Structure 1
């Protein structure tokens, strides 16, 4: 049974197939070994186009963007731990040998950097039914947001 058949068998009424088709079938073929780096920077770019103001807004944005359910696990001045889970994440993990979550990692890194205005990066660790993200900031490396920086209003 191919990926499409597996997906449709378990999720016959889901509009998520289009995202699955692009994220985990087309992009890996197009980007090949550079997929992780390119999607990380694409996530950072998306965060500059759709900047959110808070962790609550970030969680709502992830859900609305069909990335999954984002849960804050731990936070301090230098590090934030997030867990991404839910049916869409579980589906991607189940259907793909090497699912990529670097788009989400890049988005998390850039969002934290924009909120705190300090240099920030993020690592993703795939678990059985979820993905853990570790966002690390350097308080000694300030960055400035563009002068026209304005966060979006999240529909809740």
Structure 2
């Protein structure tokens, strides 16, 4: 699915929603809810390949997504980019993790989870995708 960038939102407005409103509403459940919300967003914007996923990240303002390492059942991605927009020191990246997990699950047809690791020293976020090839998913 092609995502068009027809409108721009001031970053301040985005930050208010992402950093203040969501945290206030979600409270202690923020990480879990954002993960499942990311999976839901991925279902609404199904993408066909990794290039499309990386483009989506850029258009969504989620940063530059790059594949760092790849094994049979695991992939390591890095999110980097404009530090002012990404706010790596303070942001929860579970929305992005859920989105990436669901996209990979849809592409592989097997149960997939994503784990986040924030590297504040190098100002990057690592997302580790693990696919369980013994657990096929059923059609939704």
Shift of 1:19: 1.3
Change (3 A) 1:62 1:46: same
Could you tell me which runs of 5 or more consecutive residues in structure 1 were left unpaired when the two chains were aligned.
Answer: 1-13, 147-156
Shift of 1:26: 1.0
- Does residue 130 (structure 1) correspond to residue 124 (structure 2)? The answer is yes
Structure 2 distance, partners of 1:54, 1:114, is 10
Q: TM-score of the superposition, structure 1-length normalised?
A: 0.78
1:52 to 47, 52, 58: 47
Shift of 1:88: 4.9
Change (3 A) 1:64 1:90: closer
Shift of 1:77: 2.6
Change (3 A) 1:76 1:21: same
Q: TM-score of the superposition, structure 2-length normalised?
A: 0.87
Q: Residue by residue, what CA displacement relative to the aligned partner does 1:22-49 show, whole Å, maximum 9, x if unpaired? A: 1111111111000000000000000011
Q: Residue by residue, what CA displacement relative to the aligned partner does 1:120-152 show, whole Å, maximum 9, x if unpaired? A: 000000112111000000000001344xxxxxx
Structure 2 distance, partners of 1:88, 1:114, is 30
Could you tell me which runs of 5 or more consecutive residues in structure 2 were left unpaired when the two chains were aligned.
Answer: 1-8
- Does residue 141 (structure 1) correspond to residue 135 (structure 2)? The answer is yes
Paired residues in the alignment total: 130
Structure 1 segments of 4 or more deviating over 2 A?
88-91
Larger Rg: 1
- Does residue 102 (structure 1) correspond to residue 94 (structure 2)? The answer is yes
2:66 to 59, 71, 76: 71
Alpha-carbon RMSD: 1.6
Structure 1 distance, partners of 2:16, 2:83, is 13
